[in-house]
Chain A
Amino acid sequence: GAGVSQSPSNKVTEKGKDVELRCDPISGHTALYWYRQRLGQGLEFLIYFQGNSAPDKSGLPSDRFSAERTGESVSTLTIQRTQQEDSAVYLCASSLEGLYTDTQYFGPGTRLTVL
């Protein structure tokens, strides 16, 4: 079956531009997570959705970052006025119910480069 997909796979943008990253979770998965992974670093939690509500936005680094989710489907992460420090791989994961025992299935990531 289809796994988690993300688009675009690579994005190069100029400092100050806005970017939108997309995540398609596994069908039927109610929980969706966004992480940021800087080069050689671990996963930095950004935001978690249960259905289309976001009970935990605590990881969003600034108000330039926002995310939304349509129902239990597609999610978009938007970064406004991009800065060079936003360069990273943005990973999306989904899990069946968001339980602490659920496996998180990851997409391949979007590699963002801000020039």
Chain B
Amino acid sequence: QKEVEQDPGPLSVPEGAIVSLNCTYSNSAFQYFMWYRQYSRKGPELLMYTYSSGNKEDGRFTAQVDKSSKYISLFIRDSQPSDSATYLCAMSYWRLYGQNFVFGPGTRLSVLP
């Protein structure tokens, strides 16, 4: 079982739709949860982060974490064509030594005008 799983898509939605992107993970040590957005031929950039179970809202974006189910989600309301990108979940935990970040494989989203 991979440490972080994410449906690769592609996911196509009409403009204005609500989009739900999800990741599951297996390592209960993860403490910090992020969503990165990657436009074509660019590096990923941080979109949102959250520490705890529950919801965090930022404009049209809501990040949700359910640690008991090891499940995180990103919701995009009123989706726009400019939201078309690949969305990667990422999670991390404290380690004394070594790499502590794991990225999901990404979901490719297309928002059609």
Q: Is the CB of A108 within 8 A of B32?
A: no
In contact, A100 and B93 (Cβ under 8 angstroms): yes
- In the complex the two chains form, is A45's CB within 8 Å of B46's CB? no
Minimum C-beta distance from B93 to chain A (A): 6
- Which residues of the partner chain B approach A4 to less than 8 Å between Cβ atoms? 43
* Cross-chain contact B99 with A58 (CB below 8 angstroms): yes
Interface residues of B in 47-81 (CB under 8 A from A): 49
Contact A56 B99 (CB under 8 A): yes
| CB pair B88 A43 closer than 8 Å | yes
B residues whose Cβ falls under 8 Å from a Cβ of A: 6, 8, 31-32, 41-46, 49, 88, 92-95, 97-106
Residues of A within 8 A of B (CB): 4, 33, 35, 40-43, 45, 48, 55-56, 58-59, 91, 93, 100-101, 103-109
A48 to B98, CA, bound (A): 7
Say yes or no: A104 contacts B101, CB within 8 Å: yes
Q: How far is the CA of A56 from the CA of B45 in the complex (A)?
A: 23
| 5 more A-B residue pairs beyond the given contacts A107-B43, A109-B41, with a C-beta to C-beta distance below 8 A | A35-B103, A56-B97, A58-B98, A91-B44, A108-B41
B103 touches A43 (CB 8 A): yes
Q: Find chain B residues with CB under 8 A from A55 CB.
A: 97-99
A40 to chain B, nearest CB (A): 7
Given contacts A48-B98, A55-B97, contact A100 B103 (CB under 8 A): no
Residue of B41, B43, B92, B103 with most chain A CB atoms under a 10 A cut-off: B43
Cα-based distance from A100 to B46 in the complex (angstroms): 14
Complex contact A101–B92 (CB within 8 A)? yes
Known: A100-B93, A101-B92. A43 touches B44 (CB 8 A): yes
Q: Which A-B residue pairs are the 5 nearest by beta carbons?
A: A106-B43, A42-B105, A100-B92, A56-B98, A43-B103
